[in-house]
Amino acid sequence: MVQKIFRSGNSLVVSLPKDILDMLGLDEGAEVSVEIDREQRRIIITPAGLVLPGVNEEFARQVTEFIEQYRPALEALARR
């Protein structure tokens, strides 16, 4: 699916189709996490605050930070 970037006030915006938002359980005002995959030139948008049973939130945050910091090295290792 191709979407256009448009201006809204001082921001540039990409709209997300309602069927996708419904599938993810998102509505206006919902928080999302926006990540950048520089190597693949991708923007990754995921619902924020997804809590997995039995997973310590602080540990999950630390793992996420580690992955973001070392993503290029981890991706290079994954290709071997």
Q: Check: pTM over 0.75? Answer yes or no.
A: no
Q: How far is CA 67 from CA 19, 26, 36, 47, 73, in A?
A: 30, 25, 12, 18, 9
Q: Which of 33, 30, 14 is nearest to 22 (CA)?
A: 30
Report the C-alpha gap between 40 and 31 in whole angstroms: 24
**Per-residue model confidence (pLDDT) at position 10:** 93
Query: For all residues of the chain together, what is the average pLDDT?
Result: 87
Provide the pLDDT confidence category of residue 51 given band limits of 50, 70 and 90: low
Indicate the length of the chain as a whole number: 80
Each residue's pLDDT tens digit, 18-30? 999 888 888 888 8
Q: Which of 28, 8, 7 is nearest to 16 (CA)?
A: 28
**Per-residue model confidence (pLDDT) at position 24:** 84
